[in-house]
Structure 1
């Protein structure tokens, strides 16, 4: 081989190597952005606020990940979106998430849903005007109740509570109206419903606003926890509203339900780890408005009942906490 030909081959090889290194450098400096759609809840609700805050925190982290919050009707709707592939991540109440994972109640077959973390506890609110005659859930027989929007976890827990109290059917049946939080608060204020169900953190800003206009009474629900646990398992717990949660009241016992951050089973493990890293780094900001029920810590976060942890989530917890 001539020295000229050898020199040419070396130059071409060196050029190709330099090009490969340059391309590798470009790809290393500008990795493709992975976009994950997060099913949240209705505008103005806590899921929607959490989703927006998480999306902003992920962007601020500077990684190659983008979370896009999607407004929905909340828990049931969110599980449907995970199932049909129109969402990658979702927020949902633990009872609905277990229904989906087990293929029970409104889900005809088990859904491929996994958990990233249990993020906080919802408190079941059953509110009536303080000046009215209703002091216990059983006194809602024949009355009209705002029982959550269609496709929401509020509707699920409201129907289960009413059934446990003997008000689900028959002559004592309470009359349900499917209303979102804003519409429910307006209906209670104007007297077009006699009671309002809600499941969320404490305080819920919309209800704090309502309490500033209308003196409210929280009805105790902790007496129904045992019956719900017997039928649906430990997704339901007894919790207590702090004194003066929505005005001058004593502590009131109610039903607690966890909230899960969920993912489709085929979301890459690396993306799940990146999301969880942001969740735990920014947990105080994400739950800034939740003063009761905020327990985003590893031992609590991995308690997702019959909803399996995503493999990426399990790997994250092992790597960080052992």
Structure 2
């Protein structure tokens, strides 16, 4: 028998064996890339660069995961997309997720959404930024002013409404309302089209950082400490006091006290255990790379990710953290 015949027979055997392996249950998925769609937020905030970087890390080092990040309106959009199966992972503020699973607030018409927590990430600070020349020194001063309350479908819009209400201002009619994301709000303030804007995001938020550094117009950050008690009474456990340090942005003369809210990664209740586990392994096996994505990403740890919340973790996530001793 010739060497050519033997080689051909071996190749045929190898090919047949590979084909047999490919049809075994669970093996084909291990050989093929698993697409993961991550929904984030506006490009001027923190969700987008964090999510885009997360997608890169997972695609490069997350086993068979092939992740992509998509800019969205923010938390509300993301919760709906993940619930509907149109996204696999979403960034969201915790208050928005809490409302989503209870069919409350922005989700009153949606009904209860089937979501679970994958990881707790970092806290967002509620930025309330105003032109210094607009004569605004408190939330109450926003009455009748031109104010962006955040992009439609963002948690900023939800929190802004609650803060305005706590200050005795009708969120719908008490201000000249517009709905802009972080980058669009900063540009509109700079151009003189609005007097102030709300933005819930990590520190620093790129759009706010650039606006403050430019110094034209001069800006001030408004405290929401006076509204804290009323908000806590109506929405217990969703927000906590946070301080914006004067080192956060150029031109700040003093620390500013305000509201904070946790940010989380969410998945569907129906997400497969294997996918959830692979996502978490991809994140925590490459934590050094994650920490380099953004100053807020540098805060992530196993312990912080597993912090208890009023919305349950996905069972596979709970098992993952338990196995890691957290």
TM class by shorter-chain length? 0.7 to 0.9
- Give the deviation of 1:258 after TM superposition: 0.8
CA deviations 1:173-205 (Å, max 9, x no partner) are 222211111221111112211111111111111
Choose 1 or 2 for highest CA Rg.
1
Sort the Cα spacing of 1:288 and 1:137 in 2 relative to 1 into closer, same or farther, 3 A.
Answer: farther
Task: Determine if contact 1:121/1:295 at 8 Å carries over to the other structure.
Answer: no
Could you list the runs of 5+ residues in structure 1 that have no partner in the other structure? Answer: 1-14
Task: Determine if contact 1:119/1:294 at 8 Å carries over to the other structure.
Answer: no
- Please give the alpha-carbon distance, in whole angstroms, between the structure 2 residues aligned to 1:226 and 1:25: 60
Residue 77 (structure 2) pairs with residue 77 (structure 1): yes
Task: Determine if contact 2:121/2:297 at 8 Å carries over to the other structure.
Answer: no
Match of 1:6 in 2: none
CA deviations 1:9-48 (Å, max 9, x no partner) are xxxxxx9999558743995896232212111123343212
- Please give the alpha-carbon distance, in whole angstroms, between the structure 2 residues aligned to 1:114 and 1:137: 34
Match of 1:5 in 2: none
- Give the deviation of 1:247 after TM superposition: 2.0
Runs of 4+, deviation exceeding 6 Å = 15-18
Residue 238 (structure 2) pairs with residue 241 (structure 1): no
Match of 1:225 in 2: 228
Match of 1:48 in 2: 48
Structure 1 length as normaliser, TM-score? 0.86
Could you list the runs of 5+ residues in structure 2 that have no partner in the other structure? Answer: 1-11
- Give the deviation of 1:245 after TM superposition: 1.7
Match of 2:213 in 1: 212
Match of 1:10 in 2: none
Match of 1:120 in 2: 122
Match of 2:7 in 1: none
Match of 2:170 in 1: 168
- Give the deviation of 1:283 after TM superposition: 4.0
Task: Determine if contact 1:201/1:290 at 8 Å carries over to the other structure.
Answer: no
- Give the deviation of 1:132 after TM superposition: 3.8
Task: Determine if contact 1:122/1:293 at 8 Å carries over to the other structure.
Answer: no
CA RMSD of aligned residues (A): 2.7
Match of 2:21 in 1: 24
Q: How does 1:1-322 map to 2 (within 5 A)?
A: 19-20=16-17, 23-24=20-21, 27=27, 31-61=31-61, 63-108=63-108, 109-168=111-170, 173-213=174-214, 214=216, 215-248=218-251, 249-288=253-292, 290-291=294-295, 295-303=299-307, 305-322=309-326
SS in 2 for 1:57: helix
- Give the deviation of 1:76 after TM superposition: 0.6
Sort the Cα spacing of 1:289 and 1:239 in 2 relative to 1 into closer, same or farther, 3 A.
Answer: farther
- Please give the alpha-carbon distance, in whole angstroms, between the structure 2 residues aligned to 1:216 and 1:41: 24
Match of 2:3 in 1: none
SS in 2 for 1:158: helix
Task: Determine if contact 1:37/1:89 at 8 Å carries over to the other structure.
Answer: yes
SS in 2 for 1:42: coil
